[in-house]
């Protein structure tokens, strides 16, 4: 095995563990909530803390990787992740667990750094295929997390889910130390910590506003001030970057058409894709006739086609893209994701029908991810590649946080009563999301993916017939 294939295998293994852990947390939430005697709102911060820090720190970690070396910062990100996962498994209370999850968010920067490393070592006509392997971990990891995580939580308890991840991460860490090559051109600039602070705080405030919106209220002053201050800080970030001698992100890079398109499509498609994920998870587990009435494990099995679609079609699209370019593949992704949402409107009465919908969605999902990653990595100069990947990760993370919130709002707004008859009297035992709620989520998904498709039409297509052909900028 040559060093390129070995590097790809090592990076894929670590990203697989990361995506496994993040999905494994989902079936563990009810148990954690019970063990610590906390509310579901507080338990939700177990996932939100990770998301917030991941989004806020990705641009900074990308800049540090471009400045001090990608492999060095990748190793540092793994160290953060191992410490955090190990700490999470021994958490004595919810606050330690949330803090550990926040530290894990720093480790999430491994994904954009890994993409940049692969882009450095593979020729441009083969880099899309290599990137598709890394992107496939986004589907494989969650599928394993739902399945294996459910069994571990049920049989051993939720701390062991973190313990196993810590051990696996430690093994990959030592392998990475020995075999990962140093790649790319280092950027001889000072790190813009002021810009990183501004965009980090802005992102944190906006994401907290989105996360707390359903609980505190979208127009409540206790919540609204975070959105206002966050938007002001975004403005301050843009203003500062325009005058900074060595900015975190050169705003002129957004004049590169494909970089701008990739970021806009990443934000919009992230909203639609994660709304779809919430649809499938909740609808499959709600009792009949509100949903399919499946258990957590059965629901995980139902989601397995998502991983299968990515495993099969990710590498296929990765090999195809150098020949036809990213634009046709993104159009295919938009058409397939729209089709999957339209099917979810009328074709969801049985597990087999939802399984087919999920499979089509997974193919559309990977048809978006592979071109987006490739466009960002290849349209930017080498010295700004990881910073650009970090910025793209930030925008996709924001989109990924908005989608579930929108889906949750629909499920809370449109509900049907749970009615029981006792002694010839009707009793309302509670409320569950109605068919109307899921219809609106599907319509919202179609809208988002159609918008992403329209923006994707502005992509400047490029192909690679030989190693000598350069990407059109």
CA distance 193 to 49: 22
Q: Are 133 and 314 in contact (CB under 8 A)?
A: yes
Q: For Cα atoms 96, 99, 103, give the angle at the middle one, nearest 5 degrees.
A: 135
Task: Identify the pLDDT of residue 456.
Answer: 95
Could you tell me the CA-to-CA distances from 445 to 121, 279, 345, 407, 440 in Å, in that order?
A: 37, 10, 11, 9, 8
How many Cα neighbours within 13 Å face the side chain of 144? 18
| Token couple for 439 | 């219809």
pTM score of the predicted model: 0.81
Task: Identify the pLDDT of residue 207.
Answer: 78
Domain total in the chain:
1
Residues in Cβ contact with 19 at an 8 Å cutoff, skipping those fewer than 6 apart: 137, 138, 140, 141, 142, 145
Average pLDDT for 257-261: 94
Q: Is residue 468 part of a domain?
A: no
Task: Identify the pLDDT of residue 287.
Answer: 87
Lowest model confidence (mean pLDDT) among 45-54, 348-357, 419-428: 419-428
CA distance 49 to 188: 33
Q: Is the pLDDT of residue 471 over 60?
A: no
Q: Is the pLDDT of residue 171 over 90?
A: yes
For residue range 316-359, what is the model confidence (pLDDT) as tens digits? Answer: 988 898 889 999 999 999 999 999 999 999 899 999 999 898 88
| Token couple for 331 | 């159009």
CA distance 126 to 321: 9
Q: Is the pLDDT of residue 205 over 80?
A: yes
CATH number of domain containing 82: 1.20.1250.20
**332 vs 288, residue with greater confidence:** 332
Q: Is residue 208 part of a domain?
A: no
Task: Identify the pLDDT of residue 309.
Answer: 77
CA distance 64 to 255: 23
Of 6, 71, 108, 8, the C-alpha closest to 314 is 8
CA distance 462 to 128: 12
Q: Is residue 472 part of a domain?
A: no
Query: What is the distance in angstroms between the CA of the first residue and the CA of the last residue of the chain?
Result: 34
Handedness of CA 197, 201, 204, 210 (dihedral sign): negative
Place of tokens 């029908």: 353
Task: Identify the pLDDT of residue 229.
Answer: 94
CA distance 148 to 159: 14
Q: Is residue 295 part of a domain?
A: yes
CA distance 358 to 351: 10
CA distance 346 to 439: 9
CA distance 10 to 180: 8
**H or E segment at 432?**
strand 425-433
Q: What is the CA radius of gyration of the chain?
A: 22
CA distance 125 to 321: 9
Task: Identify the pLDDT of residue 472.
Answer: 39
Reduced to 3 states (helix: H, G, I; strand: E, B; else coil), residue 416 is: strand
Q: Is residue 78 part of a domain?
A: yes
DSSP state letter for 384: G
Task: Identify the pLDDT of residue 27.
Answer: 66
**31 vs 105, residue with greater confidence:** 105
CA distance 144 to 21: 9
CA distance 432 to 286: 8
Q: Is the pLDDT of residue 422 over 90?
A: no
Q: What value does the mean pLDDT of the chain take?
A: 84
User: pLDDT above 70 covers what percent of the chain?
Assistant: 91
DSSP state letter for 462: -
Lowest model confidence (mean pLDDT) among 169-183, 265-279, 456-470: 456-470
Give 420's strand partners.
427
Residue spans of alpha helices (H) in 189-303: 193-216, 221-243, 257-285, 296-302
For residue range 94-148, what is the model confidence (pLDDT) as tens digits? Answer: 899 989 988 998 888 888 899 889 888 888 888 888 888 887 776 677 666 666 7
DSSP state letter for 255: G
User: pLDDT above 90 covers what percent of the chain?
Assistant: 26
| Token couple for 347 | 């074709």
Of 155, 462, 197, the C-alpha closest to 328 is 462
CA distance 9 to 247: 34
Distance of CA 272 to the CA centre of its chain: 12
Q: Is residue 146 part of a domain?
A: yes
Task: Identify the pLDDT of residue 20.
Answer: 79
What is the residue range of 127's domain? 3-191+248-456
Q: Is residue 80 part of a domain?
A: yes
| Token couple for 314 | 């990710």
Q: How many residues does the chain have?
A: 473
| Token couple for 386 | 């990881």
Task: Identify the pLDDT of residue 466.
Answer: 47
Handedness of CA 69, 62, 56, 278 (dihedral sign): negative
Q: Is residue 221 part of a domain?
A: no
């Amino acid at each position: 095995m040559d060093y390129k294939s070995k590097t790809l295998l090592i990076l894929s293994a670590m990203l697989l563990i990361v995506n496994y852990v993040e999905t494994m947390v989902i079936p563990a939430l009810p148990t954690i909530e019970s063990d610590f005697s906390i509310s579901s709102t507080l338990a939700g911060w177990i996932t939100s803390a990770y998301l917030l820090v991941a989004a806020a720190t990705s641009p900074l970690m990308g800049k540090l990787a471009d400045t001090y070396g990608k492999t060095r910062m990748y190793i540092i990100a793994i160290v953060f992740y191992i410490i955090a996962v190990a700490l999470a498994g021994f958490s004595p209370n919810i606050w330690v667990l949330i803090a550990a999850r926040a530290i894990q968010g720093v480790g999430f920067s491994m994904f954009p750094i890994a993409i940049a490393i692969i882009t450095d070592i593979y020729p441009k006509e083969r880099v899309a295929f290599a990137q598709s392997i890394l992107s496939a971990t986004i589907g494989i990891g969650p599928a394993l997390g739902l399945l294996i995580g459910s069994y571990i939580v049920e049989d051993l308890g939720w701390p062991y889910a973190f313990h196993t991840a810590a051990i696996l991460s430690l093994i990959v860490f030592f392998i990475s130390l020995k075999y990962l090559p140093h790649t790319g051109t280092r950027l001889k600039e000072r790190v813009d910590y002021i810009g990183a602070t501004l965009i980090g705080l802005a992102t944190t405030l906006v994401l907290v506003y989105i996360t707390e919106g359903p609980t505190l209220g979208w127009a409540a002053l206790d919540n609204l001030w975070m959105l206002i201050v966050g938007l002001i800080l975004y403005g301050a970030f843009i203003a500062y970057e325009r005058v900074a001698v060595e900015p975190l992100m050169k705003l002129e890079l957004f004049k590169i058409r494909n970089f701008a398109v990739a970021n806009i499509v990443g934000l919009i498609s992230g909203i639609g894709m994660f709304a779809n994920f919430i649809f499938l998870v909740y609808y499959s587990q709600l009792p009949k006739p509100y949903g399919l009435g499946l258990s957590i494990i059965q629901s995980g099995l139902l989601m397995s086609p998502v991983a299968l679609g990515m495993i099969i079609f990710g590498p296929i699209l990765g090999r195809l893209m150098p020949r036809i370019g990213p634009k046709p593949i993104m159009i295919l992704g938009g058409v397939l994701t729209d089709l999957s949402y339209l099917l979810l409107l009328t074709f969801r009465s049985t597990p087999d029908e939802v399984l087919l919908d999920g499979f089509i969605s997974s193919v559309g999902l990977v048809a978006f991810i592979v071109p987006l990653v490739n466009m960002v990595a290849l349209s930017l100069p080498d010295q700004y590649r990881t910073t650009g990947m970090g910025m793209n990760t930030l925008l996709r993370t924001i989109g990924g946080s908005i989608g579930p919130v929108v889906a949750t709002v629909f499920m809370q707004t449109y509900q049907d009563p749970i009615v029981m008859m006792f002694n010839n009297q009707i009793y309302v035992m509670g409320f569950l999301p109605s068919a109307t709620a899921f219809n609106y989520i599907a319509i919202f998904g179609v809208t988002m993916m159609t918008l992403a498709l329209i923006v994707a039409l502005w992509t400047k297509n490029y192909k690679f017939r030989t190693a000598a052909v350069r990407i059109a900028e």
